[in-house]
Amino acid sequence: MSQEFKFTVSDPAGMHARPAGLLVAKAREYESSIIVSYNGKSVDAKRIFGVMGLGVKQGDEVTVKVEGNDEDKAAAEFEQFLKENL
């Protein structure tokens, strides 16, 4: 099983250094693997260079896939986090 949701970035600067850092720190709170996909590329949300390297801009939609023991909790909280910070 896994959890999947889509999210549209509203931060004017996209997934830039500061929010990307917050995102990675948040992803690391969970045991589940969290994969962010955009434009045919998938990266580990726990890796800052991967997340920044996606080049996600304002208005872009990313797909987030959460898989692991705490996936329900992780997916719900991570989605909430994205809405509040990006």
Partner 1 sequence: MKTIQGVGVSAGIAIGEVRVLDTADHAVERRVVDDPQAEVERFRAARDEAVAQLKQLRDKTAAEFGEGKAELFDTHQLMLQDPDYVESIEDLIAQSKVNAEFAVNSTAEQFAAMFAAMDNSYMQARAADVKDVSRRVINVLEGKRGGAAEDEDGGESRIILAEDLAPSETVQLDRAKVLGFVTAKGSANSHTAILARTMGLPAIIGIGDAFNPDDDGHTAVIDGTSGLVFVDPDEKTLAEYQGKKAKYEEHLRLLQELKGKPTETKSGQKVRLYANIGRPSDVAAVLANDAEGIGLFRSEFLYLESEDYPTEEFQFQAYKEVAQKMGDRLVVIRTLDIGADKQVGYFNLEHEANPALGYRAIRICLTRPEIFKVQLRALLRASVYGNIAIMLPMITSVEEVRDAKKILEEVKEELRGEHIDFNEHIQVGIMIETPASVIMADELAAEVDFFSIGTNDLTQYTLACDRQNPNLGRFADPHSPAVLRMIKMATEAAHRHGIWCGICGELGADLSLTDIFLEIGLDELSVSPTSVLPLRNAIRNH
The residues binding partner 1 (CB under 8 A) are 13-14, 16-18, 20-22, 24-25, 44, 46-50, 52-53, 55, 57
Q: Which residues contact 6 (CB under 8 A, 6 or more apart)?
A: 61, 62, 63, 64
Phi, psi of 82 (to 5 degrees): -60, -45
Catalytic residue among 5, 7, 16, 33: 16
Q: Amino acid identity, residue 61?
A: E
Say how many Å lie between the first and final Cα of the chain, rounded: 27
**Is 27 a catalytic site residue?**
no
Minimum gap (Å) between residue 60 Cβ and partner 1 = 11
Q: What is the smallest separation between the CB atom of 72 and partner 1, expressed in angstroms? A: 25
Nearer to partner 1, 46 or 65 (CB): 46
Active site residues: 16
